[in-house]
Structure 1
């Protein structure tokens, strides 16, 4: 063997030896990672256990809030805090732009939805075609503009933001007591959710010696209420704005009804101002704390003990978790990238309609996804569905409305603290068959020790006032009557 061959053999041996060393290093590293998994699991469980222990043993102090924090532009400049009449306008230019965009969509080659999938892949093209056709040929912009303005509306500047609200005072005899009621809408709802309920709330009815003076604000960033110009407007901060709005209108004491995200704001409102909120009626009565979640998980061992006759609303646990994972994608998107999706939705009225209708479908009744038409025509007229979409499109508020979810997510620690602080405000829960979330009475009492009562309907979803206004109003009257009797 020559010197060159011998050198080549030595070099080859060295390379092989290096490869073996690297292989052993990778093997050792793999062993180290595998051995670390139990430790990481232990750390995760310890953190969860600590959070649950903290929930069980510690009531956090009420976070300090600035009740006059400015959320608008030019914070140093004085604001006009007068109350100004307001009217929603469907301009000819807006209608012309919409019809041009409708024509662009109509002429576009569209991908058809799969056959026999209903809405399991999202909005079905055939079902959407029916709603779109109604929008183009039967939706009367002039008539719907009149409907939008059927009640007196106003704007006033609160903490730097122009807040839009509907305000209806009842016309009743002097012997009938008038009590103020603040109605807080959901997402993707709007003040329109309550339009059919307002006349019922402001009219005297047998068996009750009171009626309501109704205030229905568009939450900041929704509809025609101005959105914040800087981050941080989380539910507790919106609660402060709502309280200051009621003070502006001369109501130091009032009742609150909240639904969906309106529940989040209403719950914070009752917690921050327990001496001002006379009673809290929730159409989404849930307690979103670690303690409540752990009770739900452990309750799978004995469902009827946890939920009594409503075990089907919480269990089987695996089915519920699968459903939440499947239907909560929009929450993750809106809680992380609201402006990204907002730009796309505001640019296309058809895209905006599709996105909102999909959420309306599933939040009204999850079984709708197996209906080829999405089931929506069983609950709402096409005009009502399109009105709600128009509220977002005409006001250009979809992006600022989506930011609510990111602000809520980013302010998790403060929101979690408010969720754990018991409020003495008299509370009533309206449970609905198709609600996404459910908290048993004993869990509700952790947050609302003065839980006066609950009602369970074998129908209804998140938009109960929009879907079944008569039944919604009946429960509000029943709840406030119970609140008033507590004072006797």
Structure 2
């Protein structure tokens, strides 16, 4: 680190002429290395779809491919057990003036639990979840849950199939605010929406065997769309949903009419390194906008430190998910604190300085606790955490999908509160057909949950561009 500061000081002390020489040399070297990297990477245009079996025991010779209606249910016993656990919670006292800087502040946690115990009505929320049609179907040995929402048909209106895919620690419920915005009439365009639960999340059965990663999830969702009769469709995703939908586009690009993402990253390379070195001084030279510079720099504070501070959960879940999962699966309050802390910080990093974590600035406790209850009542927190280990057993940057460019029409929505900012110039390293790239005015990681109108508008304008 001292060497980095030394080199930076040396550069700043150079006169203008010598700075230009240094920058020119770096640019020339960058062009040469970019050419080498271009020749070395992205030789694969599609990734194999393959096949798999994730059910218990040996693979079945014949699999039931029927689609069955499903309904979310609860019972008096389920609610009684939860209330007893909430009543018997043992709290720890927070440090004075610690706000959310040490994690979920237990003083505010008591308020959340009090609301959960005395005001939150799970039976009403179950009825609300069932307002959209739910289904299950068996794919690769697993019961895959999804909701399927059809628009009200209008004359001379084009209906477009769309799959929405969630991430962690979210669920299909994240999309409940955006669903009516997509399925209602948009004059010439409406969406028929399929929203599945990733296997191991919520009401989708958890894999019984090791190795279930984003490739497997992508393959299962492609089979789901085929089973529903869709030969071509659009995809939208964030978090794990972003990688899953990207893998779907890499496996069967002929089926994916368009890919829309609200969290995305580019392959690391010299172009990115060059942007980081020159960007703060000559952003146009490395194709960075003013907003890119504002979001990226100072890089250590806004990007590196953010990842160091926010990725502790990832290291645990990518190595020993079952250990921490035991605690989360046994304690509803522990589960809520663990999940809701992410909805605080990943929405706005400045929320750590607030005693309530800013949770109710963008979300209601009813909505937040409904998402928690989906994990609690299905006992799916452990299997959802295992998804990290299955995907990070090896360097994810060395996987075949990292070396495979995406050629389908792509729409990218860059929200300012996202954990990592990816400029359009970086995204172009990977996404070869960017139809729209939007610097969103506000919002963070959980875009559909937090800013449904913004995300819906951007998705609609993207699809319109592709369709025209």
> Which of 148, 154, 160 lines up with 1:167 in the alignment?
148
Counterpart in the other structure of 2:434: 451
Counterpart in the other structure of 2:117: 136
2:267/2:429 contact within 8 Å kept: no
1:256-295 to structure 2, matched below 5 A, reads 256-291=235-270, 294-295=273-274
Deviations 1:219-255 (A, max 9, x none): 1111111121111111122111111110010001000
Counterpart in the other structure of 1:311: 293
Counterpart in the other structure of 1:94: 78
Deviations 1:116-164 (A, max 9, x none): 1210000011211111111000001211110121100000011111100
Unaligned runs of at least 5 residues, structure 1: 1-48
2:33/2:270 contact within 8 Å kept: no
- Note the C-alpha offset of 1:403: 1.1
Q: Structure 1's 348 and 56: CA in aligned 2 closer, same or farther, altered over 3 A?
A: farther
Q: Structure 1's 427 and 138: CA in aligned 2 closer, same or farther, altered over 3 A?
A: same
1:435-474 to structure 2, matched below 5 A, reads 435-474=418-457
Q: Distance between the aligned counterparts of 2:370 and 2:35, measured in 1?
A: 44
> Which of 86, 108, 119 lines up with 1:127 in the alignment?
108
Q: Distance between the aligned counterparts of 1:387 and 1:263, measured in 2?
A: 23
1:75-90 to structure 2, matched below 5 A, reads 75-90=59-74
CA RMSD of aligned residues (A): 2.1
Counterpart in the other structure of 1:72: 55
2:46/2:250 contact within 8 Å kept: no
Q: Structure 1's 124 and 57: CA in aligned 2 closer, same or farther, altered over 3 A?
A: same
The structure number with the bigger radius of gyration is 1
Q: Distance between the aligned counterparts of 1:451 and 1:281, measured in 2?
A: 10
Deviations 1:379-425 (A, max 9, x none): 00000000000011111111111111111112545863312322210
Does residue 1:340 correspond to 2:339, yes or no? no
Q: Structure 1's 95 and 402: CA in aligned 2 closer, same or farther, altered over 3 A?
A: same
Counterpart in the other structure of 1:201: 182
Counterpart in the other structure of 1:376: 359
- Note the C-alpha offset of 1:83: 0.2
Task: Number of aligned residue pairs: give it.
Answer: 432
Counterpart in the other structure of 1:28: none
1:55/1:291 contact within 8 Å kept: no
2:272/2:426 contact within 8 Å kept: no
Counterpart in the other structure of 1:218: 197
Counterpart in the other structure of 2:14: none
1:381-392 to structure 2, matched below 5 A, reads 381-392=364-375
Q: Structure 1's 302 and 405: CA in aligned 2 closer, same or farther, altered over 3 A?
A: farther
- Note the C-alpha offset of 1:55: 6.3
1:418-433 to structure 2, matched below 5 A, reads 418-433=401-416
1:342/1:399 contact within 8 Å kept: yes
TM-score, length of structure 2 as denominator length: 0.88
Deviations 1:28-78 (A, max 9, x none): xxxxxxxxxxxxxxxxxxxxx999965663324367645331111231342
Q: Structure 1's 50 and 230: CA in aligned 2 closer, same or farther, altered over 3 A?
A: farther
Q: Distance between the aligned counterparts of 1:154 and 1:451, measured in 2?
A: 33
TM-score, length of structure 1 as denominator length: 0.84
Q: Distance between the aligned counterparts of 1:124 and 1:314, measured in 2?
A: 29
Q: Structure 1's 291 and 127: CA in aligned 2 closer, same or farther, altered over 3 A?
A: farther
1:428/1:479 contact within 8 Å kept: yes
Indicate the larger mover: 60-69 or 165-174.
Answer: 60-69
Q: Distance between the aligned counterparts of 1:303 and 1:260, measured in 2?
A: 31
- Note the C-alpha offset of 1:273: 1.1
Counterpart in the other structure of 1:238: 217
Q: Distance between the aligned counterparts of 2:467 and 2:125, measured in 1?
A: 38
1:258/1:282 contact within 8 Å kept: yes
Q: Structure 1's 297 and 265: CA in aligned 2 closer, same or farther, altered over 3 A?
A: same
1:127/1:372 contact within 8 Å kept: yes
- Note the C-alpha offset of 1:298: 3.2
2:200/2:383 contact within 8 Å kept: yes
Q: Distance between the aligned counterparts of 1:292 and 1:406, measured in 2?
A: 30
SS of residue paired to 1:155: strand
Of Structure 1 and Structure 2, the greater helix share is in: 1
1:168/1:214 contact within 8 Å kept: yes
Does residue 1:180 correspond to 2:164, yes or no? no
Counterpart in the other structure of 2:16: none
Q: Structure 1's 163 and 372: CA in aligned 2 closer, same or farther, altered over 3 A?
A: same
